[in-house]
A and B are shown apart, each in its own frame.
Chain A
Amino acid sequence: MTYTLEGATGTWEIVVGLEVHAQVISQSKLFSGASTLFGGEPNTQVSLIDAGFPGMLPVINHECVAQAIRTGLGLKAHINLESRFDRKNYFYADLPQGYQISQFTHPIVGSGVVEIELSDGSTRQIGVTRLHLEQDAGKLLHDQDPKRSFVDLNRAGVALMEIVSEPDIRSPEEAGAYLRKMRQILRYLGTCDGNMDEGSMRADVNVSVRKAGEPFRTRCEIKNVNSIRFVTQAIEIEAMRQIEVWESGGSVDQETRLFDPARGETRSLRSKEDAHDYRYFPDPDLLPLVVEQAWVDELKAHLPELPDDKRARFQTEYGITAYDSGVLVAEQAMADFYESVAKGRDGKMTAAWMTGDFFAALNRTGKAIEESPVGADKLGGMLDLITDGTINGKIAKEVLETMFETGEAPLEIVERKGLRQVTDTGAIEAAADEIIAANQDKVEQYLGGKDKLFGFFVGQVMKATQGKANPAIVNDILKKKIHG
C-alpha cells in the first residue's frame, strides 16, 4: 500500500534514505589501542592518538576491518578489496583532531540490499549504497556547568560503520522495518550490539517530499535520531513541514536539522554557509587498505546463519508458519532456544508453546530469554510429558507457571502436586455418571438439540477430576453415556 500525506494542494509522497551509524564490536578502537568499553570513568579510555596529540600516528585495527567485511557480506554487498581513508575536516569540541578519519571516495563495502517485511505481510528490497569505516567522536556534557561544556573522549576513535541506504524508503513504517532488520542482521553477525539507548546504533534520516511521478525534490537531513520510534515520528513531522513550505510558495533548503521529540518538531541545526564543506582529502598517515579475496572468502565461510535464511529453514525443517518463524528468529538467542527444544520433538507444538505461554511468562517476569528460569531442557521435558500423556495441555500451563516460580523440573512438579493425567476410565466414568445424574434437565435439553451443552458436561467432569482427566477420554465416555 502506498503511503501518502494530504496537503492543501493534493497528495504527496515521501522519499527517505537512512544513514545508520553502527558502533563496531571490538576490544580496542579503530586506530588506537584504547578500550571501547561503554561507561568508563571519563577520559580513561583515551590514547594520545584519540586525543589528537601532535605526531601520533594511527594504526588500523584488523578486527574492525573484519567486522566491516562481515557486515558487508551479511548485507549481500560487494566488498572492495582496496579502499582508502580520507580526512573529513570540521571543528567541533568533540573532535580533538579537527578531522574525522573516514572513507569518502573509496569505501570498503559497495552496494547491497536489505529485505524488509511490512505489517500487511508484503516485502520490499531496500538498496544499500555503501558501508564505510570511520571514527566515532567524543561526548559533550552540556548540563554540568552554566558556561562550559565538558568533554569526555572515551568514545572518540571507536570504530563506526556508516551504512547508507538508497532513497528507496517510502513510509515511516518502512523506515522502522529497515532499522529493525538492520539491527537484527548486525546482532546476528555480532558486528554491532544495536543498542540504541547507549548510542551504539544511531540514524541520520534524509527526508524529501514530492508529488506522484515527480523526480526527487530537495532533501533535509535529520541528525542523530536515537530510537526507531523517533525516526518514524521525525519523518512524518519533517515531511509535513516540507509540504507546508512548498505549498506556501517557498522552497525547502538542503540543510541539517535536529528532531526535538518533546516539542514534536525539527529545527535547523547548522548555518547553511558552512554546511557540508568538509574539504575531504586522502589521509596522508594511512596507505590504502588492501584485503585479499581469500580472507574475504574465509570470513564468508564462517558467517553465522542470517535471519532470513534461518526463518526459511525453520519453516521447511520444523513445518511452522512464516509468522511464527519470524517471531522466533527475531533474536538469535530465541532461535537457538527454539531449536534446542524442537530438536527431536514436534516443531509446531514447540512453536505454539514458545510463542504463547512461554513468551507470556517471560514478559510477565520481565526477563530476556537468556535469563529465563525455565531452560530449553525443562520446556522440552514439559512438552514430552504432554506427548506421552502424563499431563494434558491445561495442566501443562500450570506446570509451566510453577517452573517459572520454583525452577523445578516438570516431572517433579507433576509428582509433587499430583497432576498426572487421569486416564483411568473407571474414575472418569464414575465422575461422568454422577454429573449426568445430577443434571438430568440439561441432559434433556442437550438431547433436544442444545449441542453447546456438551461443553458443560466436559467442563464438569474436568472440574471433578481437578483438570487432570484426559480430554479425549472424557469426550468419548460422555458421548457414550448420554447417547446411551
Chain B
Amino acid sequence: MSLDLATTRRIAKLARIGLDDQEIETVRAQMGGILGWIEILNEVDVEGVPPMVGTSQTTALPQRQDAVTDGDRQNDVLANAPDREGPFFTVPKVVE
C-alpha cells in the first residue's frame, strides 16, 4: 500500500516529529513498505474468529488492592526535568 504525502505529513505532525521535504519522502516510502507488509495479514481468513486482545488468553488482568504504596519521591520524579522550578516541572507557556 502506498501512503500519500499529506497523510505522512499529518502523522508526523500528530507525533510532533519535524521532517523536511526530503525526509518526508523517505519516511513515506518506508511506512508504505511497512503497511504493505502488514497487509499480508489480510490474506488470513478470520471469519468467526474473535479479535485477539493479548498474547495470553488465559491470564486475567491482574488487580491490586486500593492502598497507597508509592509517592513521596519528588526528586526521583523530577530527576530528568530539563527545567525544574522548585517542586515543579516547567514547560514553555501553554495557554488556551
Contacts and interface: CB of A to CB of B under 8 A. Distances in A.
Chains A and B bind each other: yes
Interface of A: 26-28, 32-35, 41-49, 51, 59-65, 84, 89, 91-93, 140-142, 144-153, 258, 269, 274, 277, 279, 282, 284, 286-290
Contacts of A63: 65-66
Interface stretch (B20-28, B30-38, B82-90): B82-90
19 contacts: A33-B68, A43-B78, A43-B87, A44-B74, A46-B74, A46-B77, A47-B71, A61-B63, A61-B64, A89-B14, A141-B88, A147-B93, A149-B91, A149-B94, A150-B89, A152-B88, A279-B14, A284-B54, A288-B53
A26 B66 contact: yes
B44 interface: no
B90 A44 contact: no
Nearest to B76: A48
B72 A277 contact: no
A151 B64 contact: no
A290 B61 contact: yes
A59 B68 contact: no
Given A258-B96, A282-B53, A27 B87 contact: no
Given A141-B88, A150-B85, A288-B54, A41 B63 contact: no
Given A33-B67, A91-B16, A148 B85 contact: yes
Given A46-B73, A84-B53, A150 B90 contact: yes
A287 B56 contact: yes
Contact of B94 (A35, A44, A64, A140): A140
Interface in B42-70: 53-54, 56, 59-70
Contacts of B72: 44-45
Contacts of B94: 92-93, 140, 142, 149
B51 to A, nearest CB: 9
Contacts of A152: 87-88
A148 B90 contact: yes
B40 interface: no
List of 3 A-B pairs having minimum Cβ-Cβ separation, nearest first? A33-B69, A63-B66, A33-B70
Contact of A60 (B64, B71, B87): B64
B41 interface: no
B57 to A, nearest CB: 9
Contacts of A289: 61
Interface residues of B, number: 38
A146 B93 CA distance: 8
B92 interface: yes
Contacts of A288: 53-54, 61
Interface of B: 13-14, 16, 53-54, 56, 59-74, 76-78, 83, 85-96
Contacts of A274: 13-14
B60 to A, nearest CB: 6
Contacts of B90: 145, 148-151
Given A60-B64, A258-B96, A279-B14, A35 B71 contact: yes
Contacts of B74: 41-44, 46
Given A145-B90, A148-B93, A153-B77, A287 B71 contact: no
Nearest to B65: A62
A146 B95 CA distance: 11
Given A142-B95, A279-B14, A282-B53, A150 B63 contact: no
Given A145-B85, A269-B96, 15 more contacts: A33-B67, A34-B68, A42-B88, A47-B73, A59-B62, A60-B63, A61-B66, A62-B65, A63-B66, A145-B93, A147-B93, A149-B95, A151-B88, A277-B14, A279-B14
Contacts of A282: 53
Contacts of A34: 68, 70-71
The residue among A28, A48, A63, A141 with the most chain B CB atoms within 10 A of its own CB is A28
Contacts of B65: 61-63
Nearest to B91: A93
Contacts of B67: 27-28, 33
A45 B87 CA distance: 12
Nearest to B60: A290
A33 B85 contact: no
Contacts of B56: 287
A279 B74 CA distance: 32
Contact of A287 (B54, B69, B89): B54
Contacts of A258: 96
A92 B96 CA distance: 11
Nearest to B53: A288
Nearest to B11: A279
Contacts of B95: 142, 149
B71 A62 contact: no
Contacts of A43: 74, 77-78, 87-89
A35 B85 contact: no
Nearest to A26: B66
